[in-house]
Copies of this chain bind each other. A is one copy, B any other.
């Protein structure tokens, strides 16, 4: 049991969603200490009973008074809920770890991957009575930078070309259900139900459904571009990305091409990645065993493989790698809980 008098008072906002549920699962797995726990959701889910670590909780409707006496709140209820209730929580002295994109690019809000840039939140102290916002990066950014950062530290990444293979879970639990439903329908020769996505997802793939910006990139892609700069605190790093949804349930894959300022050979890169926290190397060329979304599903570590010198560049100034990570776990809930742990 991690219900302890010396732990913080916790709230989980958006507890009925895919990430909200994973918050609970990760808190329990990691034996996160808490004095009290409040489960918050929209009016629609209020009153629902949930059992967590042997106790029954009633889901409460999120409102202005929800954060009275709350030390840490984990938010994953979408950007507009974060924008409305995040600042209210901060006013009450709550430290908000927000999984939405609402505050990620706000100057004084730290955007944190604990293995990558813990120093960005070192000024935020639990028990100081001062509330604060800490943003959880986008899932694709987290998964990419878990692998790219250890290499960046050694050889400085100057340019990164990313193509993603993103799972249904990034669009929420309803999207995962729609993928399953559509797949059944297509196998039965029926037209697929398209409620969450505008087109057939089963046995298909499509450009990420995020809105397209004036430069032709979609918002998901620009998150990779901009969040990388903020997390690495390096406005010179050049990133381009193409984000694609594939009919996979809950883990993202990314093909990442890296160019370095100084040479980095593939054996050294492999050694660096093998000792990187939160990273596991799966790179067995003989048996053609490399990371897959299925193999990392429900796992904490981000898996890296296909590590090889980029033959399109001279010398050792480039590498291609292939990365997979559980989108709900390290891509969202786990990273947020790790941020909360750093506050303890």
Q: A residues within 8 Å of B by Cβ?
A: 159-161, 163, 165, 179-180, 183-184, 187, 198-200, 203-207, 209, 211-212, 215-218, 225, 238-240, 242, 244, 246-249, 253, 255, 257, 266, 285-286, 288, 290, 292-294, 305-313, 318, 320, 322
Q: Please, which residues of chain B bring their CB within 8 A of the CB of A218?
A: 288
CA distance A156 to B246 in the complex (A): 32
Chain multiplicity (copies) = 2
Q: Please, which residues of chain B bring their CB within 8 A of the CB of A286?
A: 212
29 contacts between A and B (CB under 8 A): A161-B257, A163-B242, A165-B246, A179-B203, A183-B203, A203-B248, A203-B249, A203-B294, A206-B292, A207-B290, A209-B288, A215-B308, A216-B266, A216-B285, A216-B307, A216-B309, A218-B288, A238-B311, A238-B312, A238-B313, A240-B257, A240-B311, A240-B312, A242-B320, A244-B253, A244-B322, A246-B246, A247-B247, A255-B255
A308 CB to closest chain B CB, in angstroms?
Answer: 3
Q: Please, which residues of chain B bring their CB within 8 A of the CB of A199?
A: 292, 294
8 interchain residue pairs of minimum CB distance: A216-B308, A163-B163, A238-B312, A163-B255, A240-B312, A212-B285, A242-B255, A204-B294
CA distance A19 to B13 in the complex (A): 53
Q: Please, which residues of chain B bring their CB within 8 A of the CB of A216?
A: 266, 285, 306-309
CA distance A206 to B324 in the complex (A): 10
Contact B293 A205 (CB under 8 A): yes
Q: Please, which residues of chain B bring their CB within 8 A of the CB of A180?
A: 187
CA distance A240 to B216 in the complex (A): 24
Q: Please, which residues of chain B bring their CB within 8 A of the CB of A184?
A: 187
Q: Please, which residues of chain B bring their CB within 8 A of the CB of A266?
A: 216
Q: Please, which residues of chain B bring their CB within 8 A of the CB of A160?
A: 312
Contact B247 A207 (CB under 8 A): no
Contact A207 B312 (CB under 8 A): no
Q: Please, which residues of chain B bring their CB within 8 A of the CB of A309?
A: 215-216
